[in-house]
Each structure stands twice: as structure tokens, then as C-alpha cells.
Structure 1
Amino acid sequence: MISSRCLLACLTALSLGAQTAPEPLLQTSQRLRAEAARTNGAYEDLAWLCDRIGHRLSGSPQLDRAIDWAQARLKAAGLVNVHAEPVMVPHWVRGHESADLLLPTPHHVHILGLGGSVGTPEGGLTADVVVVGSFDELDKLGTAVKGKIVLFDVPYAGYGRTVAYRHDGASRAAKYGAVAALVRSVGPISLDTPHTGAMDYDPAYPKIPTACVTIEASTQMRRMQQRGERIQLRLEMGAKLLPDVPSANVVAEIRGTEKPEEVVLISGHLDSWDVGQGAQDDGAGSVITMEAARLIQGLGLKPRRTIRVVLWTNEENGLRGGQAYRDAHRAEFKQIIAAVESDSGSEKVQSFELDLPKASAEAKTAALTALKSTAAPLMEPFGVALKLGHSGADVSPMVREGVTGIGMNHAGTHYFDVHHTEADTFDKVSKEDFAHNAAALATFAYALAQSDVRFQ
């Protein structure tokens, strides 16, 4: 059954929407949109972040510089309570890495070690390659892969389905005695540019080195095996995991005028992988979050509730930022109206998705009705849908404990083409789309801050 609290929230939102949504907030939204297009502040900030700081792996000096830079930009925009909240994060170092096919046709193979992987023995290792297309195929081979390198040549079938091979492949191969694991890049294309990402080890099995290869190399080795040819590869990886190091989440606020204790949280993650410039993942989400707050502050708008910016650390290889924030702020969970995250690139926003994993189906429907009554008229000019879905990795530790999550989801037409690669660079960002997204987030956050809506 639907709770009386949720019904009350829905009715409150419907009432508020009828009173305030059509004219004043629509006019405010138009002003935000015009200001975003006039200044292109988000575009310029992302260019600086990408060109002057670059990729920002957890534990790197580049991430430390980005944290300092973000605080300075938020202070310059006039936000208050700008500070860094300390977090201890993993410090994985890639080191030198290379791979060369020795048989049947010698040539260099492009690889990227997976985050968290161990390195090869000093001097590298040389072994035959066995290509499999699934975990089931590996299980059928069993100990036949002992002493060999297992290559998971698994076609991309959507990130959520295919990423398991990147995350779990090393331990699944080590279970049967493999000396290393390679994974076909998790994406629809690679243009001979491998995709990296996080992996994890099952403590029940030995830790073996693991890396991604390009789609081109993976499918070539598949064809070689189908022809009955012996595949031999030399792999060298200098990867190592060092002790944890200090980092921080960046936090800043526009304080609410009437209900400052109630918070609308907007966010993205500052860290990236150690390749490319981290433009799409997630420089884009971090910068439009900063810009949304700057637009609201710059126009002199006074939200009733507090709008809080959080720029997360260590999303890519640990999620320590989201976990630390959950632990430090648990006492105020009931006052966090929604935790919004943007972490799907820079293309035009398509939807804001309400995430209530602990709610009943009826409560979710009522909450979505409340969201639509509050924000749908404002989102219509942006072409943005409001629906149920997933929020984001960094807010997920809070969401699992009852905080309302909202995911800002972008078109993603080419997001996974460059995701976690050297090709994740600023040149692929559209200035018009970026201004559009910043204004949409500013409008959405301001609407929630002006309302009395509660989703659960």
C-alpha cells in the first residue's frame, strides 16, 4: 500500500505546482538558459580542466590540482561554505605496459591495464592465448587454460551486461590456473584504442595481471584460434597498488532563505582514469554541476532550500568519495530532498530519473507524480523526460540507505565510443549542448529548492 507520507508529498507537490510552476519559474528558467548561452562558462571551464590539468586518477597530483581548482572556481562564483571534505583513496599506478603477439604473426598489440591489476613478473611473461566468448565457455575448458593467457572476446551488449567480464574476468581465469587475462574493450567501437576500467579480485584465487585489448586485436585472435593457429603473446605490466593517500570531495552551497536545513544536492565526480582528458567521464558532469550553481548565484536567485554542490573523488576505482560522504552526513539524510548526479557525458540531457530502491511500486508512482507536478512544465522546453530509473554511482551509498536519488541522464550516442580511453578529450564536447545541460540542471535544482515536495 502507498504510505500516507508519500501521498501527502504528492498532494503537496501538486498544489505547489498549480500555484507556482507556470509563469514565475518558467521565466526564471528562460533567464538561466539565456545566461548559460551568453557566457558559455561551463564550456570554458571544462576546456581549462581538460587542457591544463588533464586526466585525474585517484591518488594523482592532477586530481589534487583539480580539487584546488574547483574550490577556487566555486568561491569566485560566490558560493558559500566552500570546502574539501577529506577522503582516503586508493593509489594504483599503471607503470610501463606493453604486449606483443609472437605467433602466428608477430606485431604489437595495444593494451590498457585494468585499474587495480597486479603487474607481471619482472621482465614480463610469455604464454599461449586461449580465446573464450563467455564465462560458460571458460568453465567448459576448465584447467585446459592452466599456464595460458585467457582472452575474453565478448561482443558489446550494453555496458551493464558486458562489464562483468572486465570486472571479474581475471579471477574467473585464475580459478583454472591462467597466468593472465585479457578482455575485449567494453564498448561498441575502439578504433584500435583500448578501453580501461576497474576490475576486482576474488580473494579465493591468485591475483593475475589483466588488461583490455582493442576490439580489432581481440577479434583477430579469435579468427586465428578458429583457424587452428597457435597464438603466443608476450605481456609486460608494471602496475602496482600503493598505500592509500589523502584526497577530498569538494562541497559548496547556495544557502536556502526559508529552509536552509533542507538540501537539494547536485553532483558529478572530479576523478577520471589516467588516459585521455576525462572530458566525458566525468569532467562534463562536474563542470555542469558547478555551472548550474554559478548561474543561479549569478542571477541573484534566492532558493528557499539550500542547493549543495558536491564534486566526488574516487568514483572510478573505489567509490570512496560517495562512501565517505554517506558516513559523514548520515545524520542529515532526512533533510536531503534529492541527491542528483550527472555522470553520463556531455551530450544533451534526455531525462532526470527518480531512484527509490527501498520504496514500494505504489510509492514510486506517487513520487514520480510529485516530481512531474513540480518540474515537468519547466523541463518541457528542454525536451527532458521525468521517469523512474537509476541515479548514479556516487550517490548510490546514500540512496541505498533511503535518500532519494535522481540521475541526470544524457543522450550517450557516442559516450561509450570513447569511455575510459585516450580519446576521451575535450574536442568532442558541443558548446551548445553543454550550455543547454547547465541551464537544464540549474532549472531543475532551483525548482526542487523552491518547492515543498518530498519524495518519501
Structure 2
Amino acid sequence: MNKNLLVAALLLFLNVSLSLAQDAKKETIENIIQEAEKNSQLEKLAHELLDVVGPRLVGTPQMNNAHDWAVKKYQDWGITAEKEQWGKWKGWERGITHVDMISPRIQSLEARQLAWSPSTGKNGVTAEVIIIPEAADSSDFASKLQQVKGKFVMISMPQPTGRPDDNWEEWATPESFEKMKKDRDSLEKQWDARLEKTGLGYRDLPAALEKAGAAGIVTSRWSRGFGVNKVFSASTKKIPTIDVSLEDYGMLYRLAEYGDKPTIKVVAESKELGEVPTFNTIAKIEGTEKPEEYVILSAHFDSWDGATGATDNGTGTLVMMEALRILKKMYPNPKRTIMVGHWGSEEQGLNGSRAFVKDHPEIVENMQVLFNQDNGTGRVVNISGNGFLHAYDYLGEWLYEVPEAVTTHIETEFPGTPGRGGSDYASFVAAGAPAFNLSSLSWDYWNYTWHTNRDTYDKIVFDDVRNNVILTAILAYMASEDPERTSREKINLPVSRRSGEQMTWPEPRDAQRAGMLED
């Protein structure tokens, strides 16, 4: 064959091949979008995870139920999945909690037992409620500790208003709003001084009151929104700790302050379950051309249990599950292995993901990329390059294939600086692997749903979650198809504006492998 004809034929073949590849890519992306929009499983998954399984506190049977549910769901979709043990934790199960004021009148209170709080038993504990004794200094406080014996002790500041600031700003006169804030600031300073004079830290104080014979601890951690409190864990080992709504806590405080001697009955039927295993759930679609290279979708599976953990991190979990379901259906033979990591015990220090990084160096070494989603129900609006010098080269190319209706909301920061905590992507960044957080807009996340008693199904904005599914699935597809490996070259970190010292790359840390267990 004539040399010129051979070159022409080769060029024609390459052009046809490129055109077919482009057509295939376009078709796959369109199929992903159509499946996400026309056949979404998000609402059903949310119901099963949040309404049926419920909150997912590490060490509880509900956390284990969640792992089993996810494994079964993936298997139903034809996706390989398994629970992978990484440690152990203090086992505990929440039971019925009921708190009633029985004097000076009868009223059921909005309250709940804190995580890992000791049980009261079925008969409950009935006692007078008092305010933590006021003292001149730590010695004086120690001398007054006998006052708490047999009493429920209130250790949180009473809030002067249950209205969030934006409500005040809308309706109050400017003078009234400023006066309220000034009075609140003054009260906070007085309360902080009162606690400081005990000579004890916030977590040491309940233990001291327990040792002095208190019947229980009463807290209220208002989250600056109507009807919403932060709900974390107890610091007591023998007596119950409860969190009470701002409204009911304020009533109890005023009754105690005015000398009306309020009495409450607390029934909190939790169970201690000894040592239990802790897991991650790992699901994957095996790669066909480069099975030992990995695209990882990441979301922590656990939650606090003041509510059902809908936006922290139910929504992130749903995004990754739905994205993998769609990829299995529309892209069943990926070039690289696409994996989902549902991490356990993120809330106590990124434990599940840190354990995975430590236990699977071969996967971390061969990661193409990791995408993590955590912070709430909103559509993704920010992606940082996390200090990887050439992150723009590949992320920019992949994002270009995402519909403009999705990317129009997204701001990027390249190259950025390495994330050091806050969510599980940081575990992989510390190991030098290209991991990125898909950060979403607020929807008042910090005040209303982050670790609160209002983080429930009804707070999910499914249009935004579907938006994030489309983004995640297309990014995973593009990362799998990319002929090039992603660069891990890091930037030269700048001097910290805060400390004035040279910044360094974060160091990998192992998980807490035996949580809340005595040595």
C-alpha cells in the first residue's frame, strides 16, 4: 500500500476510534444522569437507613445493623460488599428515656440520655434538681460538694432567649437586639467564671459530682436555633447524664433559682454490652483493565444518636451508595476498581478511615483518587485541591464533563492546602494520596443538624442530594477512564499566617482501636 494512503488510513482509523470513544463517553454520562433523575432510589434508601435502622452510634447494635443492611443492599444490586473489622468499642444500646417533672407540678420534659450514659434501670431515679453550687474558688467548691448528694445537678448556662439571632434581627428593635446580646455575653462570662472557680474542666466536673454522690447530671447544649440542642456523650460511669431542651432546662433552672425545689424522675433504660467489634463496610466493582488501581467514594457511616444522623452523614452515605448503584448499572466494567468506603467511628476521630489507611497501604498507594462527602444535605459548592500541585489538571478535566447545571454552583480552590481533619478524606491526604472533599452549602447545618436532636429525614433536600449523586458518579467514571495516573506531587507549603511558622504536611495517624475500653 502507498505510504501516503497508509498514513491516511491510520489517521482515519484514529479519528473514527476517537469519535467512537467520545460517543461512548457521552452516552455513559447521559445514562448516568437519566438514571439519577428518572430512577432515583434516594428516598427509599433514606427511609430504610434513617427510619428503619436509625442512628448509628459506634458500639451499638444499630451501627452493626447498618453495616449488615448496606452489605445486603449492595449484594441485591450485584455489587461485592463486606464488613471489615478494624477495632473494638464499648458496647452500649439506648433504651427508653423518659424524663418527668413531678414537683412543683407534673410535666413531661423534652430530654434524652446522653450516649454511653449509665442506666437508671426500669424504676428510674427521682430527685430534686439543683444548680451547681457557686463558690469563691476550687477549695470553697470542694467544701460545698456535699450539697449535691442525692440531687440532679444542672451544669449548663441557662439561655436568656430561645430565639436565634436572625429571629431577633428580623423582629426586634436594634436597641433591644443589642441589649439582649450584651446581657447574654455578660451572662456567659459570669457562668464561665462560675465553672472556672470549681477548678475542674467541663468533662472532669461530672466525674467530681458523681464521686460526691449526685443522683445525676443535667445539661443543655443549645445549638442557636429553635428547639435544637447538641447531643454528645456522657462523662459519668455510674449515674445518668441527660440533656434537656433549652425551654425545659430554663424552666427547671428558674424553679431551682427561686427556691421552688423542682423534682424530676428520670427513666433511662440503656444497656451496657461489653466489648463489641467495630467495622467499615467496603463495596466495590472490580476493574477490568487496571483492577489494582482504585477510585474510592468515601462517606462516614456512623452518627451521633441525638437524632437519626440524616445529614451527618446519612446524606453522604446515600450519595455514595446511589452513585455506585448507578455506576454498576450504566458502567458495569470500569477500567479501574471503583470502591466505596463507609467508615465507622468518624465522629470520635476519623477512626474507620485511619484504620483503613493503616491496614491497606497497597490500596492507598494505588489510589487514582478519593471523593468524600460529609457536611450536610446541600448541593456541593466547593472543591479544594488539598495541596496537590497538579490537582487542577485532572479535576478540571473531569469536572468539564459534569453538566453545567451541577458545576455552576461549584467554586474550586487550586492547589489549596492539605485538609488536616474534619472528615475522612484527611486520613488519605495525610498518607499523600489524592483525596478531595465535596463540600456542600450550609442549609443551617452547623446550628440545626450537626450533632443535634433535629438531624432527621425531613431535613434532607433530595434535589441537592441528587445533584451530588450526578457529580460523584460522573467524577468516578472520568477518574476510572482517565488513561493517566493522577499526580501526587505536593506544593511547597507556605508559612502559616496564624503561627508565623513553616507549614508541614499532616502526618498519618492510626485509629483508636479500643474505644472507651479499660486497659
The offset of 1:313, in angstroms, is: 3.1
SS in structure 1 of the partner of residue 360 of structure 2: helix
Greater strand fraction, Structure 1 or Structure 2: 1
Q: What's the CA shift for 1:309?
A: 0.8
Partner SS, residue 152 of structure 1: coil
What's the counterpart of residue 407 of structure 1?
437
Question: What percentage of residue pairs aligned between the two structures are identical?
Answer: 25
Contact residue 382 and residue 410 of structure 2 kept, 8 A: yes
**Which residues in structure 2 correspond to 1:115-154 (within 5 Å)?**
115-119=115-119, 123-124=124-125, 126-130=127-131, 142-143=141-142, 147=148, 149-153=153-157
TM-score, normalising length: structure 2: 0.65
Q: Does 1:86 align with 2:85?
A: yes
Give the AA of the match of 1:454.
S
CA contact (8 A) 2:61 2:93 kept: no
- Given candidates 205, 212, 215, the residue that maps to 2:243 is 212
Paired AA for residue 116 in structure 1: W
Alignment of 1:376-395 (within 5 A): 376-378=399-401, 381-382=405-406, 383-387=409-413, 388=416, 389=419, 392-395=422-425
User: Against the structure 1 CA distance between its residues 117 and 25, is the aligned structure 2 distance closer, same or farther, given a 3 Å change threshold?
Assistant: farther
Indicate the residue corresponding to 1:36 in structure 2: 36
What is the alpha-carbon distance in structure 1 between the residues aligned to residue 140 and residue 74 of structure 2? 56
What amino acid maps onto 1:83 in structure 2?
E
Pair 1:240–1:332, CA change in 2 (3 A): same
Deviations 1:96-117 (A, max 9, x none): 4443446776643322222122
C-alpha distance in structure 2 between counterparts of 1:326 and 1:100, whole Å? 47
Residue pair 2:95, 2:270 contacting (<8 A) in 1 also: yes
Matched, 1:269 2:295: no
CA distance in 1, matches of 2:420, 2:38: 32
Determine if the alignment matches structure 1 residue 431 to structure 2 residue 437: no
Closer/same/farther in 2, CA of residues 367 and 225 from structure 1, 3 Å limit: farther
- Give the Å deviation of 1:293: 1.4
How far has the Cα of 1:36 moved from its partner? 0.3
Correspondence list, 1:277-292, <5 A: 277-292=308-323
Partner of 2:503: none
Distance 1:101 1:438, change over 3 A: same
Rounded to whole Å, the distance in 1 between the matches of 2:231 and 2:97 is: 13
Tell me how far apart the structure 2 counterparts of residues 444 and 139 of structure 1 sit (CA, whole Å): 57
Q: Deviations over 1:150-192 (max 9, x none)?
A: 42238799xxxxxxx9xx734244347673443323533253x
Q: Which one-letter code corresponds to 1:114 in the other structure?
A: L
1:54-453 equivalent positions in 2, closer than 5 A: 54-79=54-79, 81-87=80-86, 88-101=88-101, 107-119=107-119, 123-124=124-125, 126-130=127-131, 142-143=141-142, 147=148, 149-153=153-157, 169-175=202-208, 179=214, 180-191=216-227, 195-198=230-233, 209-221=240-252, 235-274=266-305, 276-300=307-331, 302-316=333-347, 320-355=351-386, 364=387, 366=389, 368-370=391-393, 372-378=395-401, 381-382=405-406, 383-387=409-413, 388=416, 389=419, 392-415=422-445, 416-420=447-451, 423-451=454-482, 452-453=485-486
Alpha-carbon displacement from aligned partner over 1:13-44 (angstroms, at most 9, x marks no partner): xxxxxxxxx99867754442222001112233
Give the counterpart letter for 2:486 in structure 1: V
Equivalent residues of 2:420, 2:430 under 8 A apart? no
How far apart, in 2, do the equivalents of 1:288 and 1:175 lie? 44
Is the 8 Å Cα contact of residues 40 and 431 (structure 1) preserved in structure 2?
A: no
User: Contact between 1:263 and 1:337, CA under 8 Å: does it hold in 2?
Assistant: yes
Opposite residue 366 of structure 1, the aligned amino acid is L
1: CA distance, partners of 2:488 / 2:252: 52
Q: 1:68 to 1:151 in 2, by over 3 A?
A: same
Q: Give yes or no for contact 2:131–2:257 (8 Å, CA) kept in 1.
A: no
Aligned counterparts of 2:329 and 2:433: Cα–Cα separation in 1: 29
1:274 positional shift: 4.7
More deviation, 341-350/274-283: 274-283
CA distance in 1, matches of 2:139, 2:114: 25
* Inter-CA distance 131–402: structure 2 relative to 1 (3 Å threshold): farther
Larger relative contact order (Cα-Cα within 8 Å, sequence gap ≥ 6): 1
Aligned length: 412
Equivalent-residue separation in structure 2 for 1:258 and 1:350 (angstroms): 33
Aligned-partner Cα distance in 1 for 2:401–2:257: 56
Aligned-CA RMSD value: 4.2
Q: CA deviation at 1:310?
A: 1.4
> Would the alpha carbon gap of residues 49 and 102 (structure 1) be closer, same or farther in structure 2, given more than 3 Å must change?
closer
SS in 2 for 1:169: coil
Q: Distance in 2 between matches of 1:271 and 1:242?
A: 18
